[in-house]
């Protein structure tokens, strides 16, 4: 029964990944990232309940506090203070991006099938979706021009990596998870400072302006 609920959570994560890939509004991306963190937290808690892995309860609590509450608030505050335009400007149009995303999903499932057969976890069937979520988040980073959506894509990719670890081996050691959580939190604040410096220098968060530094 737990495996079915975890599979449902994995499906929702994949749907959210596609929604983030097609989203044109920055604030909506933040909300989708928060929903992704919530689904990931619930999925981790279900695996913890099913397997008795006590460290997964801590992981679920960390995910809930950091990725559902703290990071969305920080990102929302940055967006408001930077007065970022609501519309996201992709490098390629949405239909082409979605077709590329479907291709990445097919590739992820083909790659994960032989690996999942070797895994002995109850969540091994979700490994393909986890890898697909990682690749879709990476694609989102590539096709965005603005710095803020790229950072959200990076954070979403970390969610996919965490879900992949949970699917394959019931998560990483607690010390590693705590270190990653701290790195993500500190990295977000560093990105915030970086955003302000870009805005002050170029009066825009379009990463194409960074090419001027090469010319100088």
Question: Per-residue DSSP letters for 34-96?
Answer: HHHHHHHHHHHHHHHHHH--HHHHHHHHHHIIIIIIIHHHHHHHHHHHHT--SB--BSS-HHH
Q: Which two tokens stand for residue 189?
A: 């604040």
Element (H, E) at 114: helix 94-118
Helix 2-22 with 26-51: angle, nearest 10 deg = 170
Contact 104, 196 (CB under 8 A): no
Ramachandran angles phi, psi of 154, nearest 5°: -65, -45
- Work out the average pLDDT over 3-8: 81
Neighbours of 107 (CB within 10 A): 14
- Predicted confidence (pLDDT) per residue in 159-203, tens digit: 888 887 776 666 555 545 555 555 565 566 555 555 555 555 545
Per-residue pLDDT at 191: 58
Residue 117: count other Cβ atoms within 10 Å of its Cβ: 9
Percent of the chain with pLDDT over 90: 12
Model pLDDT, residue 106: 92
**pLDDT at residue 35 greater than cutoff 90:** yes
Q: What is the pLDDT of residues 65-116, one digit of tens each?
A: 888 888 888 888 877 777 765 556 667 788 888 999 999 999 988 888 777 6
End-to-end CA distance of the chain: 60
Task: Quote the mean pLDDT of the chain.
Answer: 76
Distances (CA, A) of 182 to 37, 38, 160, 177, 179: 16, 18, 17, 9, 5
For residues 180 and 154, is the Cβ–Cβ distance under 8 A? no
Which has more pLDDT, 105 or 120? 105
């Amino acid at each position: 029964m737990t495996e079915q609920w975890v599979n449902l959570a994995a499906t929702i994560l994949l749907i959210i990944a596609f929604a983030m890939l097609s989203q044109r509004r920055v604030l909506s991306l933040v909300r989708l990232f928060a929903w992704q963190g919530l689904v990931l937290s619930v999925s981790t808690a279900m695996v913890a309940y099913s397997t008795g892995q006590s460290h997964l309860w801590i992981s679920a609590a960390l995910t809930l506090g950091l990725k559902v509450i703290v990071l969305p608030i920080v990102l929302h505050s940055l967006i408001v203070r930077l007065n970022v335009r609501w519309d996201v400007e992709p490098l390629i149009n949405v239909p082409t991006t979605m077709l590329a995303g479907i291709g990445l999903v097919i590739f992820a499932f083909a790659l994960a099938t032989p690996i999942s057969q070797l895994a002995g976890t109850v969540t091994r069937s979700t490994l393909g979706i986890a890898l697909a979520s990682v690749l879709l988040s990476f694609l989102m980073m590539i096709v965005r021009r603005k710095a803020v959506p790229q950072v959200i894509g990076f954070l979403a990719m970390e969610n996919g990596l965490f879900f992949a670890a949970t699917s394959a081996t019931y998560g990483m050691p607690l010390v590693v998870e705590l270190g990653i959580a701290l790195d993500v939190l500190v990295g977000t604040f560093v990105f915030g400072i970086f955003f302000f410096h870009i805005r002050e220098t170029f009066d825009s968060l379009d990463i194409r302006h960074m090419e001027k530094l090469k010319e100088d």
